[in-house]
């Protein structure tokens, strides 16, 4: 037990140091990108994916994606999604995949008409191959990762380790963001999303990964809080990440993370009995105490502006007319495209070109659901039904899979405000469909 405590503490400390090193020596980011890719690849091949260690490799890659993008270490923008695809394929080469995952093969086939249409409709000045690959990498990475994970039995110890490795680079990211801007008041002038408080990067993506990180470490209090030290460390890390996520002033990711925690608590409570339910009541109280503390401290640090942000007010307290910062207009334009092209849609990536022709400005979609309808038409509806209904049916058949609903809600809400710009929605969706073997070490009855 002592050795295990030292091990996880050392990993956390190393990733705190990593965040500082990437801030002080930015050139290290490229090396970090290469190192993580090569190390993860060797890790899978050397172990021949024993115990599905590809999950751990994928988790670390997905957790580090925003950090690498933020520090300019990314080799190309969608690199993490291609890593996710590669490691999932290697995992399947060693241990095949479930025949029950056929619905996700059908999902991939449903994307093809939109791709073929795009080759004919995209502007002649567009690099068609790169544009299509950029826009389709999200759905494809989701499908491939899910084919690998669907109904795959994984020991709880491996799954729990994957969660830790997913969260570790998020700690580095939070440390980097903390020291990127020395004084909050110097950069905080209004209630809009703030890139200066997001490490100079997109607040939407940063808040999304921070909301996920908050959930990961709070959930580990419940399933991995074996002693006072682990509970204290996970609580501190969760609070730290939540605070940094709040003051990005991007709401979607943090609200999603908050809802994930509530759903997870409810799921564990439902699957618990007797005294364990009393423990869950205590942990629910702990969560609200921590959340309230983070909120009050954030309000103090931002001079009350965070309160106005979540009340949809400007710095003077006036109600903003646009609740979703222009996203509803993008969604409306995509619904119009769908209604005008209900069968095949307008083709992959064509939606952005149409908006640029209409408004003179390139505006990428924030909503994967309306984008699928606009660009894939009826085929997009069928594809979305597969993505939504399959996990729900799976949850009915496997009611004791504690993380399923929390992961599903992360995917569903994230693609509604941040589309599939990062690999996180793809991987978290795939994790939802694992069959976790809790008999090895049951976190509910422990």
CB atoms within 10 A of CB 334: 25
The predicted model gives 126-135 an average pLDDT of: 89
Q: How many alpha carbons lie under 13 Å from residue 409 in its C-beta half-sphere?
A: 21
Distance linking the first and last C-alpha atoms of the chain: 15
Count, residues in the chain: 446
Q: Which two tokens stand for residue 359?
A: 């408004």
pLDDT at 42 over 80: yes
The predicted model gives 75-86 an average pLDDT of: 93
Q: Model confidence over 296-335: pLDDT tens digits? A: 999 999 999 999 999 888 877 778 765 555 677 888 889 9
pLDDT at 19 over 80: yes
Lowest mean per-residue pLDDT among 6-10, 81-85, 230-234, 293-297: 6-10
- Going by pLDDT thresholds of 50, 70 and 90, the confidence category of residue 428 is very high
pLDDT at 144 over 50: yes
pLDDT at 445 over 60: no
- Going by pLDDT thresholds of 50, 70 and 90, the confidence category of residue 411 is very high
Residue 344 dihedral angles phi and psi, to the nearest 5°: -105, -10
Q: Which two tokens stand for residue 178?
A: 């903390």
Higher model confidence: residue 181 or residue 211?
A: 211
Lowest mean per-residue pLDDT among 151-155, 252-256, 361-365: 361-365
Burial 240-271 (b: 16+ CB within 10 A, else e): bbbbbbbbbbbbbbbebbbbbbebbbebbbeb
**Could you give the angle at which helices 228-246 and 156-180 cross, rounded to 10 degrees?**
50
What pLDDT is stored for residue 140 in this prediction? 96
CB atoms within 10 A of CB 416: 18
Looking only at Cα atoms, what is the longest distance across the chain? 66
What pLDDT is stored for residue 368 in this prediction? 92
The predicted model gives 356-374 an average pLDDT of: 83
- Going by pLDDT thresholds of 50, 70 and 90, the confidence category of residue 5 is low
Q: Model confidence over 246-281: pLDDT tens digits? A: 999 999 999 999 999 999 999 999 988 878 888 888
pLDDT at 59 over 50: yes
pLDDT at 84 over 50: yes
Provide the 3-class DSSP secondary structure of residue 319: strand
- Percentage, residues of the chain above pLDDT 90: 68
Residue 204 dihedral angles phi and psi, to the nearest 5°: -60, -45
pLDDT at 441 over 60: no
Q: Tokens 């690099």 — which residue?
A: 127
State pTM to two decimals. Answer: 0.94
What pLDDT is stored for residue 264 in this prediction? 95
Q: Model confidence over 114-130: pLDDT tens digits? A: 999 999 989 888 888 99
């Amino acid at each position: 037990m002592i050795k295990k405590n030292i091990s996880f503490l050392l990993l956390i400390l190393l990733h705190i140091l990593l965040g500082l090193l990437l801030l002080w020596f930015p050139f290290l980011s490229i090396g970090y990108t290469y190192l993580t890719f090569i190390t993860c690849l060797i890790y899978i091949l050397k172990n021949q994916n024993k115990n599905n260690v590809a999950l751990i490799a994928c988790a670390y890659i997905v957790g580090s994606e925003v950090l690498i993008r933020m520090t300019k270490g990314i080799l190309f923008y969608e690199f993490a999604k291609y890593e996710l695809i590669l490691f999932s394929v290697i995992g399947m080469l060693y241990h095949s995949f479930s025949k029950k995952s056929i619905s996700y093969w059908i999902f991939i086939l449903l994307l093809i008409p939109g791709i073929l249409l795009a080759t004919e409709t995209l502007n002649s000045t567009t690099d068609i191959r790169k544009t299509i690959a950029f826009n389709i990498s999200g759905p494809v990475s989701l499908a491939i990762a899910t084919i690998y994970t669907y109904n795959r039995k994984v020991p709880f110890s491996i799954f729990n380790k994957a969660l830790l490795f997913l969260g570790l680079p998020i700690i580095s990211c939070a440390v980097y963001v903390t020291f990127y801007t020395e004084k909050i008041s110097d950069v905080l002038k209004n209630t809009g999303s703030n890139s200066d408080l997001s490490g100079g990067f997109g607040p939407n993506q940063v808040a999304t990964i921070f909301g996920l990180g908050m959930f990961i470490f709070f959930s580990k209090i419940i399933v991995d809080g074996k002693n006072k030290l682990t509970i204290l460390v996970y609580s501190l890390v969760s609070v730290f990440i939540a605070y940094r996520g709040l003051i990005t002033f991007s709401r979607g990711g943090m609200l999603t993370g908050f809802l994930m925690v509530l759903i997870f608590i409810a799921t564990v409570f439902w699957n618990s009995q007797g005294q364990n339910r009393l423990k869950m009541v205590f942990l629910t109280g702990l969560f609200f105490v921590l959340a309230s503390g983070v909120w009050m401290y954030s309000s103090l640090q931002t001079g009350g502006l965070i309160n106005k942000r979540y009340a949809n007010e400007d710095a003077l307290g006036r109600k903003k007319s646009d609740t979703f910062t222009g996203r509803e207009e993008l969604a409306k334009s995509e619904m119009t495209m769908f209604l005008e092209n209900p069968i095949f849609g307008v083709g992959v990536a064509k939606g952005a070109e149409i908006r640029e022709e209409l408004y003179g400005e390139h505006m990428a979609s924030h909503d994967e659901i309306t984008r699928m309808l606009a660009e894939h038409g009826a085929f997009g509806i069928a594809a979305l039904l597969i993505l939504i209904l399959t996990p729900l049916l799976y949850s009915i058949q496997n009611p004791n899979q504690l993380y399923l609903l929390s992961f599903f809600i992360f995917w569903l809400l994230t693609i509604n405000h941040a589309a599939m710009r990062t690999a996180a929605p793809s991987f978290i969706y795939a994790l939802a469909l694992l069959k976790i073997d809790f008999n090895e070490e049951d976190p509910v009855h422990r």
